[in-house]
Amino acid sequence: MRIDELLNAGFTRSFEYFPPKNDDEAEVLARTLEDLEPLHPSFVSVTYRGGRESRQRTYDLVAAIERRGHVSAMAHLICVGHRREEMRDILHAYREAGVSNVMALGGDIPDDPALVASDFAHAIDLVELAREVGGFSIGVAAHPLGHPRSTDLGTDRRFLAEKLSLADFAVTQFFFLADEWSRLVEQLADLGVERPVLPGIMPVTSLSSLARMSQMGAPVPESLAASLEAASERGGPSAVRDAGIDAAVTLCEELMELGAPGLHFYTLNRSSATREIHQRLFAKGS
């Protein structure tokens, strides 16, 4: 199904994967897909790092998921390094494979100058092309704390509102405080945009991930970091993992109370943390 239709029908639960780069990663992903399939997600999404090889891996995985027929899949697309006609061909290929959901992203600037050239300046240009090709439910990215390359939060929100005036929904970067999502939704409403904004959830399951998450534009709040460090002192890595999952469950519960249209889990191609959070949130109602 199209994701806009799923959102119109009610609350969604979705998982995000990245395409494997080698046989070992492929085996891990295969186990994860098998482990999470019984949770009956509304849809799954597959990321795209950029470059022809990664693009093909994303296409292969999304097409394979669609062929299985158990769940709808969304393909990530990025602007960087693509010409307009090339992207048009990619969109037609997805449509021919039965894929009706795409995520239009700007993409990170690659280190290789040869990959920078593009006919697209911003993600909204890709949204417009997907609309022109037709037949897609289109998602875009949202950043509760603002995109790292945004000059200020007001500008970030205006650009996001412009994208959402053409797209069907947004999925946020991961974050850790429910009011960061609610403020984002309120600011978009003030700009006349009320498209669904799916909160992205990524539990912090190790102390080593704190710095990495900050580098990705979503710093862990001091209160959560202190809680994880205290857990480490009490019980080591396993206690940190338990505390991180507790915090993620609490965040999800708060978001649902605030009326979030769904929850989008960043799995990192691993099933255990996502499965535990999902079990605690939905086991009684599933």
286 residues of the chain, pLDDT tens digit each: 899 999 999 999 999 999 988 889 999 999 999 999 999 999 999 998 666 777 888 999 999 999 988 899 999 998 877 889 989 999 999 999 999 999 999 876 555 555 556 788 789 999 999 999 999 999 999 999 998 888 899 999 999 999 999 999 999 999 999 999 999 999 999 999 999 999 999 999 999 988 888 878 788 999 999 999 999 999 999 999 999 999 999 999 999 999 999 999 999 999 999 999 999 999 854 4
Which parts of 97-173 fold into alpha helices (H)?
A: 123-133, 153-164
- Please write the tens of the pLDDT for every residue from 24-79: 999 999 999 999 999 999 999 999 866 677 788 899 999 999 998 889 999 999 88
In the chain, what is the greatest distance between 2 CA atoms, to the nearest angstrom?
57
- What are the DSSP E strand ranges found in the chain? 12-17, 43-46, 72-78, 101-105, 137-142, 169-174, 197-201, 262-266
16 is catalytic: yes
Helix axes 153-164, 178-190, angle to 10 degrees: 70
User: Cα–Cα distance between 251 and 227 in angstroms, integer?
Assistant: 15
Active-site hit among 5, 16, 27, 253: 16
Per-domain boundaries in the chain:
3-282
Per-residue exposure over 233-258, b if at least 16 CB sit within 10 Å of its own CB, e if not: eeeeeeebbebbbebbbebbebbbee
Q: Tell which CATH architecture fits domain 3-282.
A: Alpha-Beta Barrel (3.20)
Q: Model pTM?
A: 0.93
- Please write the tens of the pLDDT for every residue from 5-21: 999 999 999 999 999 88
Residue 116 phi/psi, 5-degree rounding, is -80, -35
User: Cα–Cα distance between 59 and 46 in angstroms, integer?
Assistant: 9
